[in-house]
Structure 1
Amino acid sequence: MTGEDTSGWRASAEAWIREQGDDGDYGRAHVLDPVVIPWLRGQGFRTALDVGCGEGRFCRILAGEGIRATGIDPTPELLAAARTRDPDGDYRPGRAEALDFPEASFDLVVSYLTLIDIPDIEAAIPEMARVLKPGGSLLVANLTGFTSASADRGWQYDADGCPDHFALDRYLETRPMRVGWRGIDIVNWHRPLSTYMQLFLKAGLRLTWFDEPAPTGGPADQAARYARVPYFVVMAWQKPG
């Protein structure tokens, strides 16, 4: 990729790879994977496109489930890490807004915590639907709208330094936000849930699964905090066939 990296992903790639490790961060390992991976099984998926594959962790999970995965990402450093970790995998540069695949190419399209990174979601969601085969599914894991709306405020603490409440503001206002943690400094997009739902429906997709998963383990303090303010929503949409 050329040009200025306004998203922050190129500068943050090394820190991101270090943060994710082999198993992913707390939210992936203890909240999302425990519901998403079982959902994959028994549905007959043979081919998948992972949109925003990053360092390739979920592509490797798909391969472990017997699904032939193609991963795309606009960040060269992340693609290089994905290829190093999975030399037999298929990792390509690309953006969700203009997928370089014919119509009806995949049984499954995955957006695993990537909708928040995509500036032009109005172009990206129809593209994801376009490359799905009839009867195929779009699997989405995303931040909840109240979490992304609070990214610039987050937890508020009492006089003793304990988490008191999670501040929420400007929920209905679509906007980019700069977020940073542990050496990662990137742009995320907040949108209300209705924006995504309307775009999926407009693309002709049918909702088949929806969940706001609870934590399943990990450090007790992280699980307790997550139970107070859930971060994630998961859903599956099917293309009529």
Structure 2
Amino acid sequence: MTYLSPLGYLLGLEGAALLQALREGTGDRAFVEARITEIRTLLADPALAASPGVEATPGGISTAEVYREWAPVYDEPNSMIEYEEPFVHAILDRLPIGDALDAACGTGRHAAHLAERGHRVVGVDASPEMLAIAERKAPGATFHRAELTSMPLPDRSLDLAVCALALCHLPDLVPVFAEFARVLRPGGHLVISDPHVALSYLRPTLARAPGPDGRPSIFTEYHRPLSEFLAAALPAGFQVRHCAELPRTNPPASALAGVPRVIPAPDVPQVSWELIDWIPEAAKAAFHVPTIVIWHFQLGGERSDSMPGG
């Protein structure tokens, strides 16, 4: 069981803000005393005291359920996509035109970009709701409903694959990288983005009520150190061309300015983004961590279309 407490989450962010300031040398006396005062205020707040939290079961929400809900709103303003997309496109735009895969394509945002660049595009995703949107967004592409570990694509049929913000949903990277190595031609490029492990310690927990057991349930994600990507990619024959850890330069609270303070309802137990507006200065300091990791790999072998590093 995981105990979801709005007060506990806010106190955790205050502690993270203090530790970040100590590490970076930015925590002067005024900042530290402001955090201590804010912690005392949070502990005395009657609204937080009246919301003691709930126990939730990890792993009771499937990826399919979550993306069924997200599909209609996925293309709305999304800070993760806003950070990730320019960096991924900068890599993709330097690669030769060829046969390209958008793996776990979602609503087809990268598929559409690749098609506009002149690639022959195929997309793969397990969510029919997301694929329906992708087909409208990139009508010239071919889409398949399938898992990343078993894609209905011929061996050595692709020059390029991109997989964006999706590997965090898979428990094991090894079979995924093996599948990428199977479908790419020698010298083919693989561009991956994923939520950074550092962010996972700070962002709210996605929960729903009830889960299969009647209790509130938490969506499971797999946040990995960078070494796990290398442990899966290198034995599959991939070489690292570039790796970037993108920092979060703006706090999530910036998008919530003026929003009334909200405590998640007990029947929908969510330690939610709205809570961050309670402590914007602490949130800004705490969230000064890498948000997304970007990888550019190249499959070993013949490299007739090689390029300068990432």
- Extract unaligned runs of 5+ from structure 1: 1-5, 157-177
Asked if 1:71 corresponds to 2:129, the answer is no
The whole-number CA distance in structure 2 between the counterparts of 1:78 and 1:142 is: 18
Match of residue 26 from structure 1: 79
Deviates more, 1:69-78 or 1:213-222: 213-222
1:235 equivalent in structure 2: 295
Structure 2 Cα separation of the partners of residues 105 and 230 of structure 1? 34
The one-letter code of the counterpart of 1:133 is R
| Alpha-carbon offset, residue 204 of structure 1 | 1.3
Rounded Cα–Cα distance in structure 2 between residues aligned with 1:227 and 1:219: 8
Q: Counting strand residues as a fraction of each chain, which structure ranks higher?
A: 1
Gaps in structure 2 of 5+ consecutive residues: 1-59, 209-217, 256-282, 303-310
Cα distance, 1:92 vs structure 2:
0.6
Identity %: 29
Using the size of structure 2 for normalisation, the TM-score is: 0.59
1:135 matched to 2:150 = no
Q: How does 1:158-237 map to 2 (within 5 A)?
A: 179-180=206-207, 186-214=219-247, 221=254, 228-237=288-297
| Distance across 2 between alignment mates of 1:7 and 1:122 | 24
Q: Who wins on radius of gyration, i.e. which is larger?
A: 2
Classify the secondary structure of the residue corresponding to 2:162: strand
Q: Deviations over 1:56-100 (max 9, x none)?
A: 121112112222221111111111222233333211111111222
**Pairing partner for 2:95 from 22, 39, 43:** 43
Give the superposition deviation at 1:109: 1.1
Partner residue, 1:170: none
CA RMSD of aligned residues (A): 3.0
Amino acid at match of 1:37: H
Question: CA deviation digits over 1:174-201, x for unaligned, max 9?
Answer: xxxx7349xxx74321232211111111
Residues 49-64 of structure 1: pairs in structure 2 closer than 5 A: 49-64=101-116
For residue 220 of structure 2, give the secondary structure of its aligned residue in structure 1.
Answer: strand
Could you list the structure 1 runs, at least 4 aligned residues long, displaced by more than 6 angstroms after superposition: 216-220
Give the partner amino acid of 2:64: R
How much does 1:40 deviate? Answer: 1.3
Distance 1:217 1:44 in 2: 34
The answer to which structure has the higher helix fraction is 2
- Alignment of 1:122 with 2:167, yes or no, is no
Specify the alignment match of 2:263 in structure 1. Answer: none
The higher-RCO structure (CA 8 Å, 6+ apart) is 2
Amino acid at match of 1:25: N
Partner amino acid, structure 2, of 1:98:
S
CA distance in 2, matches of 1:12, 1:219: 21
Cα distance in 2 for residues equivalent to 1:213 and 1:17:
25
Question: Does residue 11 of structure 1 match 2:65?
Answer: yes
Code of the residue aligned with 2:99 in structure 1: it is T
Structure-2 separation of matches of 1:98 and 1:231 = 29
State the alpha-carbon separation in 1 of the partners of residues 61 and 105 from structure 2: 16
Name the SS for the 1:212 alignment partner.
strand
TM-score, L = length of structure 1: 0.74
**Which residue of structure 2 aligns with residue 166 of structure 1?**
none
Shift of 1:15: 3.4
The alpha-carbon distance between structure 1 residues 180 and 60, as it changes in their structure 2 partners (threshold 3 A), is: farther
Q: Hey, what's the Cα distance between the residues in 2 that align with 1:199 and 1:217?
A: 32
**Contact 2:68–2:127 at 8 Å: present in 1 too?**
no
Match of 1:164 in 2: none
Is 1:215–1:226's contact at 8 Å kept on the other side of the alignment?
no
Aligned pair count reads 207
